[in-house]
Structure 1
């Protein structure tokens, strides 16, 4: 109808947490879309602290949250490193002038109850529940682990068409199975934020969440406002030109209310140092990428540089331990890795290609155990010393300079009934580094 303002679009990017390829896709999308809002899977009660989170801390860092009431105790981690898509969404979105917000339920919320255990993290994304789908994909593509599959499908290929590949991947792994009660509550809440941003009518909305949630979020947002949406959101859905005239009034800003902890609950949220060893899937981090130091190099140098850097770090560590590694050994290992890459259809050597080549070129005896990177198994005491060295070299290459993890500043907060205000989330210049 003539004279009716066109409703802005929502662009959904489903990502794997701590994926360099996904992080780069986020950066490219921000540059292309120039969104008015960037909405990110993360605890909404931390929105008033985003300026402090972006002060230029030395990465990786994590937000550690804890909670206790008369019935339960809960803890969770939300790690962020340079190649976390969530971190790139925060920093690139802010630099582009967008309003950036976390839009997930707070870490203390009962939706996260099942993850309240050691090494629990808010980025679990029901990986155990779609393991069957990834196993089928591994068989179809002839790979030995979901991580090797991911590298071949996402990290190594040309980035053209990556968003479509991710959509197809996550639609397949989620399938038609219903999410559990916790994920259902989280997705309903995140969808309310997306609808609220769209209702403001001030430009495109970029939504960055774990890919497991993306199909559900698209469906929920397309269905339109619900009775749980803010009143301002429901009204603006019919009249996008209203654009929240009371944006500076926290009580009427049109954003979803952030749940408040129960009376008498004790808890807090703290920005803490983190390390690549803690990010490492080999160390037990459920949503981690194995060998995170390799992926830091992949983020900084690209696939070829990451492969070379991984070899350099392995050799450095072995020679430091006085394990002889000859030039002939390295030539053999590289030749084997390049042959494996060609056989597996990789345009450059992957992490698994490099590690398999090194194991074949350097280990001179038959192995009694499968190689750890063929799954996510930690090397046992009976593993070959060279195999243990290969795994140990991958978490944090010294050449990357990423083992110093102390934040430049610390902050902590107790749970308070905070709500993000438009004033606290207005676009600001990029944070100092």
Structure 2
């Protein structure tokens, strides 16, 4: 009976190749792999022809789906190769890590204890004891512990703290390297011969565990105790050649087993929760440690390349770079490729490496193919080094009903899951595009933001643009929302009805209604309209109604294209606008400057909504409200000025009436700050209007030209704030109009009369000297 401990780096192509070769030579009768034992039941799916890595095992609590974690696998993951070997040879393969049923339960107890401590501190007023803080492991980090802990942190300056968290950096430093990541790659991942490599890794890890301060939490000790328990279990079952695939750090702990009683004591009384798991597609971008995945690798796409082409001297890689550049319409010749390969190999020799690594190839690419420009290196990183590859899982794999319904709809509507973003322009007059839009809006309501709405060019409401990009973490959201229903329609209906019933804010319910209409949820729409009616009836604040009216008016746009009956919404809109028109004049008096400016923005949105409706009675009521605000001396000046301008736009005020009102507001008898505020409201959003309307232009110009110097200096900052709200092109045009005059002719300068020319001439030499010039008459001096 023999036990062979293979310490590996997870997602390492060299480790995967060594494991594959070792197993083929050893021919074990059982394989134990570091991973969650709960997933043993779904391991047979790994041999399914439709399951293609990168994939991941999703483990979650059915009663708390957000408490979940992922176990990703790439084709070059050593665990994946071990699982594949066992299934091809028809021998048992098992996961041997501490069950997540215990891990999740332990974490749940820790969170409950931390929350209780926090509440106790709030009651007693005590400060938290920082000395008692423990560096515990979160559930997602715990999931990453199925991979090698020695690679959790990218290369960084070597300090004792670095060595504690990244022991590989210690070995690299001892070997004269300052980058543990690169050292490990050249020593193990690029290695062609597997001569006793696992013994060397085990010895190195043993030395590290003895040399460095302990970095093992109690959770780590329990994990290793469970792994040893699984090895003992295999021995009891009379397996004679046991192959164990684990993270390199754990190898010495599994080789040098303590007494069984020690492990039993560590595992005694562990709490437990219910766990479920399934296979999901994964992406290389999520496999990268930049995604936050604790055991990620910096270059998943590069690792895939060296897994497929272990003997490549850089030629194949540079050919891929050249192809990528040519696809981007950048000329790249064969000579460029050959020169880049030569340079990469020269750098390899200078650095005394056995083969070019990614760093050497990147430096050669930057120098030869990119001409020293970093911009194209980001393209290489996204497309080749990280890559946008996404895996596949069989359609008949066990999965939650809601996820199955979403995948069915994606397939029927031809909306595939892609790791890279893809843009769709939907014409809502077409049945398929309309169904796509409905699905995307429903998923957004469920909080599954697979699609992001983009701005579309042109007019009309029949067109939508979406950008879709699939994230594997959506699987957790889907499982969580699956408690509301087995189909998208059922789940989104029940979910929004529940959320809206608990929401007491009129604005939030209106936003839900705005989202529910394009999602075509009649039951939800009826319930939300009833909820809005009830909240609006109870709302005593006119400003709250003013805030939601524009969004409700916007909702009515969907009545035509989406065949949605918007009459119920219009009834609410008419009622709210009537209440706003009655109560708004009083709300515009006795308000602070900041409150008035905030109300001004709502004022503008309300006016746009009225113009959009084109409803005669509502427009009449609104202009009556504007008249009351404009004519009330107690109204906030900025609001009174804006109301006056809108009355002119609605043709309620003619030229003479507007001029009179403007003259009264701009009178020198008023305080400069009041005058400037009125003018700010008067010019609100009208940069172009000021350019085109000569009446407004002449009134403003005449007022400015009559200001005394000290008054002008007082109001100048306020005027600057007013004109700063105009766009840059509008300000430029206004400046040109001032310079050239209203009719486009150059402005004339009127000289003062009654000047004594002879006396004025005497001052010219002095002025010329001040400017650095000399008058001809004084050159002789």
* TM-score of the alignment, normalized to the shorter chain, above 0.5: yes
In structure 1, the residue matched to 2:498 is none
TM-score, normalised to structure 2's length? 0.42
Q: 1:161 to 1:58 in 2, by over 3 A?
A: same
From 170, 195, 217, the equivalent of 1:136 is 170
Give the whole-Å Cα distance in 2 for the aligned partners of 1:34 and 1:388: 44
1:121 aligns with 2:144: yes
How far apart are residue 301 of structure 1 and its match?
1.9
From 411, 424, 429, the equivalent of 2:398 is 411
1:42 aligns with 2:35: yes
Q: Which has the higher strand share?
A: 1
Q: 1:175 to 1:68 in 2, by over 3 A?
A: farther
CA contact (8 A) 1:310 1:394 kept: no
Offset from partner CA, 1:199-249 (integer Å, 9 cap, x none): 2333111111111111111122xx3433766xxxxxxxxxxxxxxxxxxxx
How far apart are residue 16 of structure 1 and its match?
0.4
From 247, 250, 269, the equivalent of 1:210 is 247
CA contact (8 A) 2:298 2:386 kept: no
CA contact (8 A) 1:314 1:389 kept: no
Aligned residues between the structures: 354
CA contact (8 A) 1:268 1:412 kept: no
Q: How does 1:169-248 map to 2 (within 5 A)?
A: 169-176=204-211, 177-178=213-214, 179-220=216-257, 223-226=258-261
Give the whole-Å Cα distance in 2 for the aligned partners of 1:187 and 1:350: 34
Q: What SS does the aligned partner of 1:27 have?
A: helix
1:168 aligns with 2:158: no
Q: 1:301 to 1:275 in 2, by over 3 A?
A: same
Q: 1:131 to 1:314 in 2, by over 3 A?
A: farther
How far apart are residue 342 of structure 1 and its match?
1.0
Instruction: Work out which of the two has the higher radius of gyration on C-alpha atoms and give 1 or 2.
Output: 2
In structure 1, the residue matched to 2:375 is 385
How far apart are residue 344 of structure 1 and its match?
2.1
Q: 1:277 to 1:100 in 2, by over 3 A?
A: same
How far apart are residue 175 of structure 1 and its match?
4.2
Give the whole-Å Cα distance in 1 for the aligned partners of 2:306 and 2:173: 26
CA contact (8 A) 1:333 1:358 kept: yes
How far apart are residue 268 of structure 1 and its match?
3.0
Q: Please give the root-mean-square deviation of Cα atoms over the aligned residues, in Å.
A: 3.2
Q: How does 1:82-97 map to 2 (within 5 A)?
A: 82-97=75-90
Q: 1:295 to 1:37 in 2, by over 3 A?
A: same
1:53 aligns with 2:46: yes
CA contact (8 A) 1:86 1:208 kept: yes
In structure 2, the residue matched to 1:381 is none
Give the whole-Å Cα distance in 1 for the aligned partners of 2:368 and 2:101: 49
How far apart are residue 31 of structure 1 and its match?
1.8
Q: What SS does the aligned partner of 1:104 have?
A: coil
CA contact (8 A) 2:35 2:95 kept: yes
Give the whole-Å Cα distance in 2 for the aligned partners of 1:203 and 1:408: 35
Q: 1:170 to 1:323 in 2, by over 3 A?
A: farther
Q: What SS does the aligned partner of 1:270 have?
A: strand
In structure 2, the residue matched to 1:65 is 59
Q: How does 1:322-337 map to 2 (within 5 A)?
A: 322-337=329-344
How far apart are residue 278 of structure 1 and its match?
1.6
Give the whole-Å Cα distance in 1 for the aligned partners of 2:233 and 2:245: 16
How far apart are residue 11 of structure 1 and its match?
0.7
Offset from partner CA, 1:92-145 (integer Å, 9 cap, x none): 123234211111123343378423248963435434574453333333445453
From 277, 280, 299, the equivalent of 1:291 is 299
Q: Which moved more, 1:167-176 or 1:53-62?
A: 167-176
CA contact (8 A) 2:54 2:74 kept: yes
Q: 1:137 to 1:257 in 2, by over 3 A?
A: closer
CA contact (8 A) 1:156 1:346 kept: no
Q: 1:141 to 1:181 in 2, by over 3 A?
A: same
| Contiguous gaps of at least 5 residues in structure 2 | 108-136, 154-162, 402-781
Give the whole-Å Cα distance in 1 for the aligned partners of 2:244 and 2:311: 27
Give the whole-Å Cα distance in 2 for the aligned partners of 1:260 and 1:39: 24
From 359, 362, 366, the equivalent of 1:355 is 362
From 183, 193, 203, the equivalent of 1:149 is 183
Offset from partner CA, 1:288-327 (integer Å, 9 cap, x none): 222212211222221316x333322222222222233344
In structure 2, the residue matched to 1:370 is none
Give the whole-Å Cα distance in 2 for the aligned partners of 1:143 and 1:325: 35
Q: 1:360 to 1:282 in 2, by over 3 A?
A: farther
CA contact (8 A) 1:23 1:83 kept: yes
Q: 1:161 to 1:90 in 2, by over 3 A?
A: same
Q: Which has the higher helix share?
A: 2
How far apart are residue 192 of structure 1 and its match?
0.3
TM-score, normalised to structure 1's length? 0.72
CA contact (8 A) 2:285 2:386 kept: yes
Offset from partner CA, 1:367-424 (integer Å, 9 cap, x none): 8xxxxxxxxxxxxxxxx31221231233466xxxx9352212432479xxxxxxxxxx
Q: 1:50 to 1:359 in 2, by over 3 A?
A: same
Give the whole-Å Cα distance in 2 for the aligned partners of 1:136 and 1:224: 30
Q: What SS does the aligned partner of 1:45 have?
A: helix
Give the whole-Å Cα distance in 2 for the aligned partners of 1:313 and 1:173: 39
